[in-house]
Amino acid sequence: MTQHDTMISIRNVGKRFGPVVAVEDACFDIRRGEFFSILGASGSGKTTLLRILAGFEAATSGAVFIDGAQMDAVPPHQRPVNMVFQNYAIFPHLNVRDNIGFGLRKLKLDRAERQKRIGAMLDLIKLPGFGDRHADQLSGGQRQRVALARALILRPKVLLLDEPLGALDKQLREQMQIELRALQRSVGITFVLVTHDQEEALTLSDRIAVMADGRVLQVDTPAGLYERPCSRRVAGFVGNMNFLPARVLSQAGGATSIDIPGCGTTCSIATKRLEHCSSDISLAIRPERITLHRSRPAAPAIAVAGVLRDRMYLGERTHFQIELEPGGATVAVSSSTMKAEALGTIGPGAQVWLSWPEDALIPLGNE
Amino acid sequence: MEESPSAARMPLRNRLQGVLIRHESLRGFLLLAPALVILGITVAVPFLLMSAMSLWTQIGFDYADDWSLRNYTAILTEPLYTTLLLRSLTMAMVATFVTVVLVYPMAYFLAFHVHSNKLIWLIIITLPFWTSYLLRVFAWRVILGYEGVINSGLMELGLIGEPLQFLLYSRVAVIITLAHAWAAFAFLPIYVSLEKIDKSMLEASADLGEPPVMRFFRVILPLSMPGVIAGTFLMFIPTVGDYVTPTLVGGPDAAMIGNLIQLQFGTINNWPMGAALAITMILSITLVGLFFMALMHGLRRWAR
Amino acid sequence: MTERFEFHKPNRALQLYAGLFMAMLYVPILFIPLFSFSDGLYIRFPIESFTLRWYAELFERTAVLRALENSVRVAVSVAIVSTVLGVFAAKALARYRIPGRGPILGFILLPLVVPPIIFGVALLLLVSALKIPLSLYTIAAGHIIICLPFAIATLLPRFEGYDAAMEEAAADLGENGWWVFWRVTVPIILPGIVASLLLTFTVSFDEFVMAFFLGGTDLTLPLYIWGQLRIPRAFPVVLALGTLILLFSFALVFIGLRIGRRGAIKLVDRG
């Protein structure tokens, strides 16, 4: 990646509030034109990091560069970024038009040009004719669009979004996700989104940084995070995951033999996938990578027996909970409802078999 | 550090800006500074000066700044001072007690039985408090005076033959006037503490079959105690030092420490003694307050 | 809920008490306007005939008009200064992480509770030590001590009542601190500013104790009234003057509290 491709460079950024460490040694780049998400639970430091980018908080250590320029001593009003706030911060004393045009004062535009730009923004956010509405006459979704227009009208190098969809109900949120993605493509501005909703991050982003306890755990594409999580925390945070305790037995050639006590079986995994792992590891496996059988399958070498404990119908998919050992932990299996129907009517207590392809197992160190 | 050389090259203005951005509390203090400086000059410095002067002695038209506790010894030993001090404390205490007791049901009514236009009620109750203290005290002189509303009214009705002497210029007159003038100050914290009580909790306790009287003594009164204590302090502290009311409706028998302080700065012209009296007043209010807090603390433990 | 909870049922005894309470609060004050219309030189029942002559006499007294002018001048400056200081201080207290916030707020609100005679006397000591002559300026200085807590108590809930992100959003959209203040902060807290101006004006206009200790030869209205109280023959004019002052003060405070809304409740909650 060349310097030219990098829009934001976060270099060893740390932030403390008194004794509390909010962000610790964050270090990653955000590319030009990218839709980037910072994903984490509340208190993970993601919002603090975003506010450091906007200039509302000063980093205690490290440096932030935006488009090659160091930002530490640059106050918020001089930074080439604009922000969509969590509760939108629509100015209550102004109407929609004046809210959107708030940042234009400094450009000293004449009236016609100003109105033209605001009109174009109103069209962009699909609210033409709303210019004279007052802030308190807008619905949640409309407020969100106005906040977007107000930030985009200044053509920032980066648009920061702080949980912009958090206040909306589920249906509206899904619709706005699609619009947000389309908007980002059409304006071509770098978006940095902060969210606690992993589904939102996966749907919208080109790349995602996962944060927990002030640390950046992993920066990767959605598929990379989902398929190759680097730790149990990331694996557990992005999507659903089963964790099977396992132990390294022996190495031979390029493969390592691993014992999975809970399943009463062993398997072998390419040794290079086991770098950084000690002998006690966890094997992570996505519920949808597990296949359910009513009798011992012939094809895969490894098949594990279990007892069905619960079955949940979720429309397109059906979820199962399977107990591998009596009284032991259960494994979640997600199957398309069509396949589940094919199994026939099995209920709790039924004997079942599980199988999975070898590459579905993700070895992770136990931290 | 790689950033320090670039920081040094920045112009001073930018560096200052950088410092302000990095230190949020500094920005806060800059905004607070004007108010704090003014209060420092008009409150803190004068108070230190007053403390210093209370250790001086007045000799003729001059001060002897030889640092002695003479004024305080006089205050603690001469009956004139101790009587007035104790009288001020007791009268303020009685007035406060009366006011809190009278105001509580009103606050209870507003918090629990008024469901609309609460703001208007609140404004009307607190309205007089904001307006001329002098005139509100004067109103009581009109009422209690020798030929005032009560005396002339009763005489007109033929109930009394000649004006009742004890109405004006008595301790009762001072207490009534103080209670009336400061009611809003005692009212507000009590009301706020009652308003904060979760109504659904009371409904739950009613659901458990507790009779209303028990509920009041077991739930409402204990929960509103912080407000009662706050109201007590808010009224007691300023009334101890009042001198407008005792001057206008109190007369010599009901003079308070405030009158004495005022005289030291007026006709008696003994400023060091006035300063010492003011300090003594603050200290005695603090002592009574601490005693009251300890008492409340003890009561609470005993109630458990 | 089929059965209405007892708090929704009217309680006759409490209603009666509330009525009596309000009567006791207002009736004593109402005697001032009542007797200001009495023709007699002395305050007494029965009032034989009504007149407006005391009001007419009031406007002929140049001393009254001069005192009125002095009071207005002091009160206007005090209201402006304490509200401006209050806006800055309330913003700092509401928006910034300030070490020692509690003690600082306590110090600022102290004059609400401490007897004003203490501040009056203490300030008098300083003023005379610095050989500053007593004047309307010294009165105003004393009034600022008393009015600042009211201004801050009125303004603080305003700042806490809206999202700090509003100011951040304005900064984010390219405005520096000065413009953020004028384009966002002031419009949003405007009701609080108006309320603070009205309340601090009234408090200063009606204040007596500070003025008594810190006043020079120029009298404010309360000082003028105080002087007249020694002369029983002057009572009717004082009643007329008092009526006008009360009317004026009640109107200003009512508007101020209406606009300031929660200010009055929060005030003591914090104090």
Residue C99 pLDDT: 85
Q: Within the 249-268 window of chain C, which residues sit less than 8 Å (CB to CB) from chain B?
A: 249-250, 253-254, 257-258, 261, 264-265, 267-268
Residues 6 or more apart whose Cβ sits within 8 Å of residue A95: A131, A132, A133, A134, A135
Amino acid at C167: E
Q: Rounded CA gap, C132 and A78, in Å? A: 48
Residues of A in contact with C191 (CB under 8 A): none
Question: Nearest Cα to A237, choosing from A245, A219, A225?
Answer: A225
Pairwise CB contact (< 8 Å): A151 & C172: yes
Higher pLDDT, C266 or B209: B209
Looking at the structure, tell me whether residues A197 and A276 fall in a common domain: no
Residues of C in contact with B28 (CB under 8 A): 92-93, 95-98
CA of A89 vs chain C CAs: smallest distance (Å): 5
Question: Cα B95 vs. chain centroid, distance in angstroms?
Answer: 12
Instruction: Give the start-end residues of each E strand in chain B.
Output: 57-59, 62-64
Residue found by looking up tokens 């007897």 in the block? C115
- What would the 3-class secondary structure string for chain A be? CCHHHEEEEEEEEEEEECCEEEEEEEEEEEECCCEEEEEECCCCCHHHHHHHHHCCCCCCEEEEEECCEECCCCCHHHCCEEEECCCCCCCCCCEHHHHHCHHHHHHCCCHHHHHHHHHHHHHHCCCCCCCCCEHHHCCHHHHHHHHHHHHHCCCCCEEEEECCCCCCCHHHHHHHHHHHHHHHHHHCCEEEEEECCHHHHHHHCCEEEEEECCEEEEEECHHHHHHCCCCHHHHHHCCCCEEEEEEEEEEECCEEEEEEHHHCEEEEEEHHHHCCCCCEEEEEECHHHCEEECCCCCCCCCCEEEEEEEEEEECCEEEEEEECCCCCCEEEEEEEHHHHHHCCCCCCCCEEEEECCHHHCEEEECC
Residues of C in contact with B242 (CB under 8 A): 115, 117
Residue B10 pLDDT: 59
pLDDT digits (tens, 9 = 90+) for A61-110: 999 999 999 998 888 999 999 999 998 999 999 999 999 999 999 888 89
Higher pLDDT, B7 or B129: B129
Looking at the structure, tell me whether residues A42 and A87 fall in a common domain: yes
Residue A322 · residue A307 · CB < 8 Å: yes
Residue A289 · residue A255 · CB < 8 Å: no
Q: Which helix (H) or strand (E) holds C51?
A: none
* β-bridge partners, A293: A353
Pairwise CB contact (< 8 Å): B28 & C98: yes
Pairwise CB contact (< 8 Å): A86 & C179: no
Question: Is A69 an interface residue toward B (CB < 8 Å)?
Answer: no
Name the pLDDT band for A201 (thresholds 50, 70, 90): very high
For chain B, which domains are there?
A: 3-53 (no CATH), 80-303 (1.10.3720.10)
Share of chain B above pLDDT 70, in %: 93
Q: What is the mean pLDDT of residues C194-207?
A: 95
Burial of B294 (0-12, 13-18, 19+ CB in 10 A): exposed
Residue C242 · residue C32 · CB < 8 Å: yes
Q: What is the mean pLDDT of residues B255-272?
A: 90
Looking at the structure, tell me whether residues A51 and A162 fall in a common domain: yes
Pairwise CB contact (< 8 Å): C172 & A77: yes
Of B113, B125, B133, which has the smallest distance from its Cβ to C25's Cβ? B125
In words, the CATH class of domain C56-270 is mainly alpha
Question: Nearest Cα to A180, choosing from A157, A200, A210, A155?
Answer: A200
Share of chain A above pLDDT 90, in %: 44
Question: Is C247 an interface residue toward B (CB < 8 Å)?
Answer: no
Residue B21 pLDDT: 63
Q: Within the 151-210 window of chain C, which residues sit less than 8 Å (CB to CB) from chain B?
A: 152, 199, 202-203, 206-209
Residue B130 · residue C246 · CB < 8 Å: no
Looking at the structure, tell me whether residues A226 and A276 fall in a common domain: no
Cβ contacts below 8 Å, chain A against chain B, sum to 20
Residue A349 · residue A265 · CB < 8 Å: no
DSSP state of C271: -
Q: Rounded CA gap, C111 and A71, in Å? A: 44
Pairwise CB contact (< 8 Å): B15 & A73: yes
Name the pLDDT band for C1 (thresholds 50, 70, 90): very low
Burial of B284 (0-12, 13-18, 19+ CB in 10 A): middle
Indicate whether C206 pLDDT > 50: yes
Residue C269 pLDDT: 38
Backbone angles phi, psi at A358, to 5 degrees: -60, -40
Pairwise CB contact (< 8 Å): C265 & B45: no
Beta-carbon count within 10 A of B287 CB: 11
Indicate whether A47 pLDDT > 70: yes
The verdict on ipTM greater than 0.90 is no
Pairwise CB contact (< 8 Å): B142 & C239: yes
Q: Rounded CA gap, B22 and C32, in Å? A: 59
Question: Nearest Cα to B195, choosing from B153, B224, B170, B167?
Answer: B224
Beta-carbon count within 10 A of A156 CB: 22
Looking at the structure, tell me whether residues A276 and A136 fall in a common domain: no
Of B14, B23, B24, which has the smallest distance from its Cβ to A73's Cβ? B14
Mutation target to probe the A interface, by most A beta carbons within 10 A, among B1, B2, B3 is B3
Residue C243 pLDDT: 94
Q: Which residue of B has its CA nearest to C86?
A: B35
pLDDT digits (tens, 9 = 90+) for C41-86: 777 777 778 888 889 888 888 899 999 999 999 999 999 999 999 9
Sign of CA dihedral C216, C221, C224, C225: negative
Question: Cα C190 vs. chain centroid, distance in angstroms?
Answer: 18
Residues of B in contact with C155 (CB under 8 A): none
Indicate whether A301 pLDDT > 70: no
Question: Is A105 an interface residue toward C (CB < 8 Å)?
Answer: yes
Q: Which CATH number fits the domain that encloses residue A318? A: 2.40.50.100
CA angle B140, B146, B150 (to 5 degrees): 60
Pairwise CB contact (< 8 Å): B106 & C21: yes
Question: Is A55 an interface residue toward B (CB < 8 Å)?
Answer: yes
Question: Nearest Cα to C239, choosing from B183, B145, B243?
Answer: B145
Question: Is A335 an interface residue toward C (CB < 8 Å)?
Answer: no
Is the backbone of residue C211 left (phi > 0), alpha (psi -120 to 50) or beta?
A: alpha
Residues of B in contact with A72 (CB under 8 A): 3, 18, 21
Mean pLDDT of chain B: 86
Indicate whether A144 pLDDT > 60: yes
* Chains contacting C (3+ CB pairs below 8 angstroms): A, B
Question: Is A72 an interface residue toward B (CB < 8 Å)?
Answer: yes
Residues of B in contact with C115 (CB under 8 A): 237-242, 258, 281
Looking at the structure, tell me whether residues A222 and A332 fall in a common domain: no
Q: Rounded CA gap, A239 and A199, in Å? A: 8
Indicate whether A206 pLDDT > 90: yes
Residues of C in contact with A81 (CB under 8 A): 172
Residue B93 pLDDT: 95
Q: Which residue of C has its CA nearest to B38?
A: C145
Residues of A in contact with B3 (CB under 8 A): 63, 70, 72
Residues of C in contact with B143 (CB under 8 A): 28, 31
Pairwise CB contact (< 8 Å): C88 & B35: yes
Looking at the structure, tell me whether residues A12 and A64 fall in a common domain: yes
Mutation target to probe the B interface, by most B beta carbons within 10 A, among C54, C96, C210 is C96
Residue C3 pLDDT: 47
Highest mean pLDDT among A348-362, B159-173, C206-220, C257-271: C206-220
Residue C149 · residue B69 · CB < 8 Å: no
Sign of CA dihedral A97, A102, A105, A106: negative
Looking at the structure, tell me whether residues A198 and A71 fall in a common domain: yes
Q: Which CATH number fits the domain that encloses residue A81? A: 3.40.50.300
Residue A9 · residue A182 · CB < 8 Å: no
Residue C271 pLDDT: 32
Residues of A in contact with B17 (CB under 8 A): 73, 75
Residue A2 pLDDT: 52
CA angle C161, C162, C168 (to 5 degrees): 145
Indicate whether B9 pLDDT > 70: no
Mean pLDDT of chain C: 88
Question: Cα C2 vs. chain centroid, distance in angstroms?
Answer: 47
Which residue, of A218, A236, A254, is where some domain finishes? A236
**Residue C50, helix vs strand vs coil:** strand
Is the backbone of residue A67 left (phi > 0), alpha (psi -120 to 50) or beta?
A: left
Residues of C in contact with B112 (CB under 8 A): 7
Q: Rounded CA gap, C188 and A130, in Å? A: 22
Residues of B in contact with C93 (CB under 8 A): 28, 32
Q: Which residue of A has its CA nearest to B7?
A: A73
Indicate whether C267 pLDDT > 60: no
Residue found by looking up tokens 């007593």 in the block? C134
Pairwise CB contact (< 8 Å): B24 & A75: no
Looking at the structure, tell me whether residues A185 and A333 fall in a common domain: no
Residues of A in contact with C173 (CB under 8 A): 77, 82, 102-103, 150-151, 154
Q: Which helix (H) or strand (E) holds B261?
A: helix B257-265
| Two structure tokens written together for A247 | 């132990």
* Chains contacting B (3+ CB pairs below 8 angstroms): A, C
Pairwise CB contact (< 8 Å): B50 & C125: yes
Residue C200 pLDDT: 96
Which residue ranges make up each domain of chain C? 56-270
Which residue, of A176, A203, A236, is where some domain finishes? A236
Among the ranges given (A221-230, B58-67, B190-199, C244-253), the one the predictor scored with the smallest mean pLDDT:
B58-67
Which residue, of A209, A236, A263, is where some domain finishes? A236
Q: What is the mean pLDDT of residues C6-12?
A: 74
Q: Which long-range contacts (CB under 8 A, 24 or more apart) does C158-163 make?
A: C158/C90, C158/C188, C158/C189, C158/C191, C158/C192, C158/C263, C159/C90, C159/C91, C159/C93, C159/C94, C159/C95, C159/C189, C159/C192, C160/C94, C161/C262, C162/A92, C162/C188, C162/C189, C163/A85, C163/A87, C163/A89
Looking at the structure, tell me whether residues A162 and A253 fall in a common domain: no
Question: Is C97 an interface residue toward B (CB < 8 Å)?
Answer: yes
Q: Rounded CA gap, B161 and B163, in Å? A: 7
Beta-carbon count within 10 A of A58 CB: 18
How many domains is chain A built from?
2
CA of C157 vs chain B CAs: smallest distance (Å): 15
Question: Nearest Cα to A6, choosing from A29, A25, A27?
Answer: A29
Of A56, A93, A150, which has the smallest distance from its Cβ to C168's Cβ? A56
Of A85, A105, A154, which has the smallest distance from its Cβ to C169's Cβ? A85
Indicate whether B6 pLDDT > 50: no
Domain containing A168 equals 3-236
Question: Nearest Cα to C108, choosing from B198, A244, A35, B35?
Answer: B35
Question: Is C271 an interface residue toward B (CB < 8 Å)?
Answer: yes
Mutation target to probe the B interface, by most B beta carbons within 10 A, among A70, A78, A79 is A70
Among the ranges given (A190-199, A325-334, C169-178), the one the predictor scored with the smallest mean pLDDT:
A325-334
Residue found by looking up tokens 């404004």 in the block? B123
Residue A273 pLDDT: 75
